[in-house]
Amino acid sequence: MARAMFEYTKVVLRKVSFDPSLFCKELEKAVQRLLPYELEELRIWIRQFTLEKPELSHCLVHLN
């Protein structure tokens, strides 16, 4: 079940990536819901994802 939440989080973040504000809000929710090891995976995924969308890179502060 936990893995499903991680995958769902990535789907949601992809869908809201058109709006940096919404992306940050969803990222905040993910930080509250995911397990610590999933957060580490999410950090890696987000760093890769934001290479293509630099306007979202300021949202990385929510992962610290």
Domain boundaries, the chain: 2-63
Query: For residue 63, what pLDDT is reported?
Result: 83
pLDDT tens for the chain, residues 1 to 64: 668 999 999 999 999 999 999 999 999 999 999 999 999 999 999 999 999 999 999 998 988 7
Alpha-carbon distance of 46 to 17, in angstroms, equals 11
C-alpha dihedral over 31, 33, 36, 42, to 10 degrees? Answer: -50
Alpha-carbon distance of 6 to 10, in angstroms, equals 7
What's the full length of the chain, in residues?
64
Residue 43 has a CB neighbour count (10 Å cut-off) of 13
The single-letter DSSP state of residue 16 is: T
